[in-house]
Amino acid sequence: MYISNISIENYKGIGQKTAIHLRQGLNVIVGENASGKTSIIDAIRLLLREDEFGYTPVSESDFHKPFEVSAQASESFVIQASFAGLTKDDKVTFLPWYDIDQHATLNLKVENKEKYGRFKRHVWGGSSKSSAFEWELFEKFNCIYLPPLRDAEAKLKEGKASRLAKLLKNIEAKALKELKDKGEIHSLEKKVQSFNHDIATSDDLPIKKMNDLIKSKLTDAVGEVFGQDTHIGFSEVGFNRIAESLRLFFFPDFISDGTNKDYYRSLNENSLGHNNLLYLATVLAELIDSGEEDERLKVLLVEEPEAHLHPQLQIRLLKYLEEISKNETSPIQVIVTSHSPVLASSASIESLIHISSGNTSSINATPIICTGIDKDIKHEIDGKEDVLIPASNLFLSRWLDTTKSTLLFAKGVILVEGIAEAFLVPQLAKSILKNYNEGKDKKDLLPDSLEKAGVSIVNMNGIYFKHFMRLFCNFGKQDKDCQNIEIRCAGITDKDPEKLKDEKDEKTIPATPIDPDHNDGKNPVLNLLTKINSSDYCRLYTGAYKTLEYDLAMEGNNLQVMAKVLQDNWHNRGTVYKEIKSIAEKEWNDEKPQIKGSNANIILKRIEDNNMGKGYYAQLLSEVLQEDSNFTIPDNINKAVIWACGGSVDD
């Protein structure tokens, strides 16, 4: 049994009714700050009556209030959970919760009518709100929550709220019940009582001597007639008190059982990260080892498990959470929220759920596997032929590394083919956004950089748009009903025309396109342009001529700037250097396209030289562009930046 769907309406930051689909096992909810992740976790805690939250009074701030002038808080909020994977016994137990569609559902509605400091709650199962509710069914849930700002030291400290106390009571729950029915006490109590009695009555220890002194002085003061007997012993030693007095110590390595325990230290001397792991270990011990007959639905909610952990530990922790979620004898539904690209890149595609804020009153929850990436798509081109787009889930599982997974936390995404674009586009974007904002009303202004706009540049190291863009748009009939991540995505690609053959010696020579309207590209993604550019969230912008560097060189007087960068960083002063120098000293604005194209090919050839390289050259050029505002930016890069940042583009 597991939660298959959680529906939330007018609760905290979530206004419009939103459904979040969950899976059995591990669920990793990712998204930018303030997208609604914590509201989802709190809704589950409130509905399942999680120990530290379910009984907490509802407050005015729990009712959604739009960010509008004179806005009022909602009159009520509603949280509903649907359950799947029920066993035969579960179906009998939760029969009152079945609706007309044979789904087990639990509902909570809280009305914003404060009376005597409380808000009216309605809880019901299934479709009928008026049916009698069996409150003992909540005992079938074991929901534990780990907050993002964990005070692990306080939680593991001795006391009633100690995790150690809860763990011990949980482990011995069955034995304690059996002993209580027999009128007996636990063996732990017997041993502690015996130990305390021996200490208090031993002639070799000072406690008995102290008690005798008190009795003697009391007799001296009031006499035996008015005196009283005394006994000094330890505080109550019932099982609960013993459990609540336990304290955890640590040693920074695994050591043998015979090692002197004096080496162990208090948790206040441990690192925050390792204390968090110790805290999590006690929680998992309680969930996993809760007894052979424990058939409760176990839900572990963890906000930001990456807190205070270095990347390797983050990955190891996530893999372990995934392992325990699949435990055959005691499965746990694990729901994690995270801002960590490390965790996002380590999680399986099937477990990822992307959250984005659609507007001030709604959120969008998109399971990544529901975007159509697991389907083979045949796409029709001009009504003539089918182009097969193979399933992308395996590809993305392999390629969503720590860098590329930043797209899951962005407000917008720009997909690029290589390292050169990754270096240059952020710098070019500053000029693009500055020009875009000139003359705009304040409400229409865009941020002045990609960083401020929350836009991520994702270097795909190839032309893999058909895989990455399936996260944001649908390509064919087979995936028309699939979901999309509802954030803007722009792709920057090249036409990549075929190389030409020299008629004399049949050697290939580089193409020199000079017409920006030519359609001779061999880039296969060009076949998908129409489909991508008619979607709601995706745009693919193609260079006018050939490749990035060639296209840059064909604009304005860019050839001069680009050649000057080569000249200043060329490794020798030979013939090639003189050729580059001559290009750098010429004005190119009014030059004929044919001559410009030939020299653009020369620049491209030298950029690709082993002594330079596209990545290094792009880094050098981006540094120069910080000071040069006269560099002309190609139209495709201009449009991609504006689209990804949320601006208006004339396609």
pLDDT, position 115: 59
Question: SS3 of 379, please?
Answer: strand
Closest CA to 16 of 264, 409, 308, 364: 364
> Span 302-312, mean pLDDT?
89
Taking the C-alpha atoms of residue 240 and residue 243, their distance in angstroms, rounded to an integer, is 5
Which two structure tokens, joined as six digits, stand for 158? 């001795």
Instruction: For residue 193, name the pLDDT band (cuts at 50, 70, 90).
Output: confident
> Span 574-598, mean pLDDT?
93
């509902």: which residue's tokens? 107
pLDDT tens, 318-372? 999 999 898 877 789 999 999 999 999 999 999 999 999 876 678 999 999 888 7
Q: What are phi and psi of 141, to 5 degrees?
A: -115, 140
Question: SS3 of 190, please?
Answer: helix
pLDDT, position 382: 46
pLDDT tens, 222-257? 666 565 767 776 676 777 887 777 877 767 666 556
Residue 290 has pLDDT above 80, yes or no: no
- Distances in whole angstroms, Cα of residue 206 to Cα of each of 64, 210, 215, 217, 254: 63, 6, 14, 16, 37
Q: Pairing state of beta strands 385-389 and 377-381?
A: antiparallel
């936390």: which residue's tokens? 409
Q: Do the Cβ atoms of 115 and 94 come closer than 8 Å? A: no
- Distances in whole angstroms, Cα of residue 294 to Cα of each of 177, 291, 301, 331, 419: 15, 5, 19, 11, 54
Domain boundaries, the chain: 2-148+292-359, 163-268, 376-553+633-651, 556-630
pLDDT tens, 77-93? 999 999 999 989 999 99
DSSP string computed for 534-572: TSSSEEEEE-SSSSHHHHHHTSTTHHHHHHHHHHHH-S-
Residue 103 has pLDDT above 70, yes or no: yes
Q: What are phi and psi of 65, to 5 degrees?
A: -135, 115
pLDDT, position 258: 57
> Span 548-558, mean pLDDT?
95
pLDDT tens, 507-547? 677 888 888 776 667 788 888 888 899 999 999 999 999 99
pLDDT, position 459: 95
What is 2-148+292-359's CATH superfamily?
P-loop containing nucleotide triphosphate hydrolases (3.40.50.300)
Of 57 and 6, the one with more pLDDT: 6
Taking the C-alpha atoms of residue 380 and residue 475, their distance in angstroms, rounded to an integer, is 10
- Distant-in-sequence, close-in-space partners of 312: CB < 8 Å, separation ≥ 6: none
Residue 550 has pLDDT above 90, yes or no: yes
pLDDT, position 291: 55
Taking the C-alpha atoms of residue 275 and residue 262, their distance in angstroms, rounded to an integer, is 19
Taking the C-alpha atoms of residue 552 and residue 164, their distance in angstroms, rounded to an integer, is 64
The identity of residue 228, as a single letter, is Q
Residue 643 has pLDDT above 90, yes or no: yes
Instruction: For residue 465, name the pLDDT band (cuts at 50, 70, 90).
Output: very high
Closest CA to 185 of 248, 244, 236: 236
pLDDT, position 29: 97
Burial label, 14 (beta-carbon count in 10 A; 0-12, 13-18, 19+): buried
pLDDT, position 384: 46
> Span 468-486, mean pLDDT?
81
Max avg pLDDT among 143-152, 216-225, 294-303, 615-624: 615-624
Of 390 and 181, the one with more pLDDT: 181
